[in-house]
Amino acid sequence: MDLGLLDRVAIVSASSEGLGRAAALDLAREGARLALCARTDKTLQTAAQEIRQQTGADVFARTCDVSDPDQIDGFVAKVAEHYDERIDILVNNAGGPPPGTIAEVGLREWRIAFDRTFASVVRFCQQVVPYMQRRKWGRIITITSSSTRQPIDGLATSNAMRPAIVGFAKTLSRELAPHNILVNNVAPGMFRTARHEELLESMATSQNRSPEEILQERVAQVPLGRMGDPDEHAHMITFLASERASYITGQTIAVDGGLVRGL
Ligand code: NAD
């Protein structure tokens, strides 16, 4: 199947590791030109170089903390300059919000969660939409979580901020549909990444159990009986970014091995 992604310009934020990096690599394999960002230049440039070597893609990479709207503005401006005022695809990603129950999470953590998980998505969208409108084509895909459908115990900030993104994306999808800009979310279940290891450690500490025990218990909830590979998540993003997804907008699509029980 020709996905029609050759030469499309795709921003993938927070993409030096994990699901963001896997999405960037998959888009590059289909011929897209990339703009990557993360906070730490060394890991970011390593990821960019590896993707160039594996795919031959054009990869622009600059540091940007997505919690800071000024840094997002500066990053998008540099991407536009690098790619001749062209931005076709935005994949929104960020590190996860701080873990904890409602009793454990203070106002500071709520503010971090708002800035990192919600406001970053709003700002990136505001910045890229004018470029997409000019070409009457665009794809905006946000990496969220299974918490958009089913709250996860011990992740209060995620359970509140991720559904907010669903409401935002649905609204935006309606506003941008006349411009042929499609807005969707992907909702990952459990994937082997640094974020997942961090969550296991945090749950193990608060429950006074071993990370291995918690991992086995979590995997037992997945009908497919295993964690996902980041590549499996990336393929959904690539499809939603492609020409082949031309009649899908305003959706939140789970990639979770059947984890969420809701219909
Ligand atoms: P990860 O920790 O492996 O990677 C996160 C990436 O984001 C890294 O490249 C990191 O450098 C970058 N990053 C973090 N904070 C940033 C910031 N403020 N500005 C710029 N870059 C930043 O995480 P992951 O597992 O790939 O998860 C990605 C997203 O998906 C997170 O929001 C996470 O909560 C969510 N998620 C992950 C899973 C999973 O199973 N891995 C499940 C549900 C939801």
Tokens of 103: 């009793």
- Alpha-carbon distance values, 80 to 9, 83, 86, 121, 205 (Å): 9, 5, 6, 18, 44
Contacts of 82 (CB under 8 A, 6+ apart): 35, 60
What integer pLDDT is reported at residue 195 of this predicted model? 84
Q: Comparing C-alpha atoms, which of 14, 123, 121, 19 is closest to residue 63?
A: 14
Cα dihedral 75, 129, 83, 11 sign: positive
Ligand 1 atom with minimal separation from the 43 CA: 11
Cα–Cα distance measured from residue 261 to residue 116, given in angstroms and rounded to the nearest whole number: 28
Cα–Cα distance measured from residue 74 to residue 223, given in angstroms and rounded to the nearest whole number: 43
**Is ligand 1 within 6 A of the CB of residue 16?**
yes
- Residue 144 C-alpha to ligand 1 middle, in angstroms? 10
Contact 219, 212 (CB under 8 A): no
Ligand 1 atom with minimal separation from the 96 CA: 34
Pairing of strands 33-38, 9-12: parallel
Rg (CA), the chain: 18
Residue nearest to atom 23 of ligand 1 (CA): 195
What integer pLDDT is reported at residue 203 of this predicted model? 86
Cα–Cα distance measured from residue 95 to residue 116, given in angstroms and rounded to the nearest whole number: 7
Contact 60, 37 (CB under 8 A): no
Ligand 1 atom with minimal separation from the 227 CA: 40
> Residue 259 is which amino acid?
L
Cα–Cα distance measured from residue 245 to residue 141, given in angstroms and rounded to the nearest whole number: 12
Tell me the pLDDT of the chain (263 aa) as tens digits. 899 999 999 999 999 999 999 999 999 999 999 999 999 999 999 999 999 999 999 999 999 999 999 999 999 999 999 999 999 999 999 999 999 999 999 999 999 999 999 999 999 999 999 999 999 999 999 999 999 999 999 999 999 999 999 999 999 999 999 999 999 999 999 998 988 898 889 889 988 999 999 999 999 999 999 999 999 999 999 999 999 999 999 999 999 999 999 99
**Is ligand 1 within 6 A of the CB of residue 154?**
no
Sequence length of the chain is 263
Contacts of 166 (CB under 8 A, 6+ apart): 144, 148, 185, 252
Q: Comparing C-alpha atoms, which of 134, 121, 156 is closest to residue 252?
A: 121
Tokens of 10: 């795709």
pTM: 0.97
Domains annotated for the chain, with CATH where assigned, are 9-191+229-255 (3.40.50.720)
Contact 252, 144 (CB under 8 A): yes
